[in-house]
Amino acid sequence: MLTTMAATIRNLEPGDAEWIRQLLSDSPEAAGWSVGLGAASENGLLWRVAEQDGQDLGVIVFRSTADEAEILNLVVDAGHRRQGIGWRLVQEAVAGCKAAGVRTIFLEVRESNAAARRLYAKAGFKEGGRRRAYYRAPTEDALVLRRTVE
């Protein structure tokens, strides 16, 4: 059973860049993923950060175009996983997409990432395809997941 923390979800702030870079580099699931944090809003990326008592716990990055959206990354600090933070971040992204008129949300996930796959299934995402050798270090297929926003 997951214990949901009373984390606050907020928008990305200028002071978050260094912490997020460290979080991404410390997370094998996010290996090789980087983006210019300073230009995030200019690239149409939406960032939401989970924090509690001034401590940053996790981040989700997504973008929407017309009636579709894509979750690009979700990372929770290793010491705070399995506490409902990822769930809260996914729910925040889905709510933001719904408010923006999005009808379908997509994402890719490593086939071997069982924890993420369980989280996304719980959030209503279903497998809709596969991208062969999509990930590097190690090379691995990505499962393409899809969720209809109602």
Identify the pLDDT of residue 33. 61
Q: What is the pLDDT of residues 80-133, one digit of tens each?
A: 888 899 999 999 999 999 999 999 999 999 999 999 999 999 999 999 999 999
- Nearest one of 73, 56, 70 to 17, comparing CA atoms: 56
For domain 8-148, give its CATH number from 3.40.1260.10, 3.30.565.10, 3.40.630.30, 3.40.50.620.
3.40.630.30
Angle separating helix axes 114-122 and 85-99, nearest 10 degrees: 50
The pTM (predicted TM-score) of the whole model is 0.86
Catalytic residues, which ones? 108, 120
Tokens 């990505």 belong to: 142
Q: Where are the domains of the chain?
A: 8-148
